[in-house]
Structure 1
Amino acid sequence: MAAYEGKETGEQALLRKLFSHPQDGDILLGDANFENCFLLALLLQAKADVVFEKNGARHIDFRKCDQKLGSKDGLFKLTRPVRPEWMSQELYDQMPAELVIHAVKNKRRTIITTLLDAEEYPRTEIIALYLKR
């Protein structure tokens, strides 16, 4: 429950307020609004994995992935971007310089996840999980 307008009332800000709640093994499902490097890193620190649709601004080229896992399935390294306004310098300094993500694609969507083991979490199951959200 939160205010409906004003600073820090957007969906990402509200999610950041919940970072103390995930438990080890939780998987958060979300749309492309949530797929950014800092939210991924913060949720991993909170011991939660994510399955989010790719943000439209992020370019994913499966021909140039860091580790190819299959057709339209691969691991990519994200480099830490500049510090956003909402993040303190102290927290920014704690963020990893690189973050590995698993990207999978079907005909309509590219899904980003922190579930990196392709044998335990196959492409088809990641897509099916996202579509159930």
Structure 2
Amino acid sequence: MIFSLATGAVTALCINVLNTHDIKLARKLYSFLKPNDVLVGDRAFCAYADMFTIKKLDCDALFRKHQSRTTTMRKGKIFGDCDKLVTWHKPKSCPKGLNQDEFNALPKSIIVREIYYYIVISGFRTGRVSLITTLLDTTTYPTLEIVGLYSKRWDVELDLRHLKTTLGMDVLRCKTPSMVRKEIYVYLLAYNLLRSLMWSAGTTYGNPPLRLSLQGTRHHLNNFIPKLLATSPKKLLQVYRTLLKVIAHKAVPDRPGRSEPRVRKRRPKAYPLMTKPRHELRKQLQTA
């Protein structure tokens, strides 16, 4: 999926079988990009072919540098202590996920911008971060703004948590592929509906939409649904504006650099996992 950093809504989706590689599936999402979009992602997507493909679509990319590439500030055109332009050369062999025709269409080299910085916040696992981007103009895109933009990548993890935990999409209950797809689409429809309410409430009453609570928006909407259904068409707009006002009433506090211990609060039950169908387990109980 592709999430909007401005609204938090899902803007693109691709589904495939379980053994499909993440990169191969993600490359299908590039067709949903629009000119001047900036795609932010983690190190898994920082590949030569992806950087070229995204730039060819009149878009830009900002990824964390892949761990297989060494980091040095002694080469390239240096702009500051932690900012430079470097030349990437085409791989010698065709990487996995590309066919030979796609590999032959790649240029011999591309120019990218590399930025690195250190994180000294207690509780953060990463101490040094190296970024690769196609936003080459240092005047239009200062170093600190690039770093600030990448820090918002974590919002995607929170959006996924909302989908899986808040809305309950962590366990899909349908049994056939077609019904599983429909189930996912219904969850995304409900999620984007909540995001649209948060956007309308925030922009109407002057609160940043991303600072509003998605769980709170869900509760308020559920409470207002009977009222919305029973209201006459003349008063429907008034009730809707009241709903927006209630949603925008209290924003989530801004907590930059917040860190929490990586532990589980609830202990798992001391039962073994169900690795066989229920009727086989019942037979084992009867014969035991």
Corresponding residue number in structure 1 for 2:107: 96
1:105 aligns with 2:116: yes
Distance in 1, Cα, partners of 2:50 & 2:105: 13
SS of the residue aligned with 1:18? helix
Corresponding residue number in structure 1 for 2:15: 2
Distance in 2, Cα, partners of 1:4 & 1:69: 45
Gaps of 5+ in 1: none
Corresponding residue number in structure 2 for 1:36: 47
Shift of 1:60: 2.1
The farther-off stretch of 80-89 and 121-130 is 80-89
Corresponding residue number in structure 2 for 1:62: 73
Counterpart amino acid of residue 109 in structure 1: V
The farther-off stretch of 40-49 and 111-120 is 40-49
Distance in 1, Cα, partners of 2:18 & 2:81: 43
Corresponding residue number in structure 2 for 1:48: 59
Shift of 1:21: 1.6
Identity of aligned residues (%): 30
Corresponding residue number in structure 2 for 1:16: 27
Counterpart amino acid of residue 21 in structure 2: G
Bigger share in strand: 1
- Report if the CA contact (8 A) 2:84-2:113 is conserved: yes
SS of the residue aligned with 1:112? strand
Q: TM-score, normalised by structure 1?
A: 0.91
Shift of 1:4: 5.0
Distance in 1, Cα, partners of 2:144 & 2:135: 13
Distance in 2, Cα, partners of 1:70 & 1:14: 37
* Structure with the larger RCO, 1 or 2 (CA within 8 Å, 6+ apart): 1
- Report if the CA contact (8 A) 1:80-1:97 is conserved: yes
The farther-off stretch of 14-23 and 100-109 is 14-23
Corresponding residue number in structure 2 for 1:126: 146
Q: Could you report, residue by residue, the CA deviation over 1:21-68 in whole angstroms, capped at 9, with x for unpaired residues?
A: 211100000001110111111111122111101111111211212x11
Counterpart amino acid of residue 54 in structure 2: L
SS of the residue aligned with 2:54? helix
Q: Which runs of 4 or more aligned residues in structure 1 lie more than 3 Å from their structure 2 counterparts after TM superposition?
A: none
SS of the residue aligned with 1:17? helix
Shift of 1:122: 1.0
Distance in 1, Cα, partners of 2:55 & 2:130: 20
Gaps of 5+ in 2: 1-13, 119-127, 154-288
Q: Report the structure number with the largest CA radius of gyration.
A: 2
- Report if the CA contact (8 A) 1:22-1:47 is conserved: no
Q: TM-score, normalised by structure 2?
A: 0.44
- Report if the CA contact (8 A) 1:27-1:50 is conserved: yes
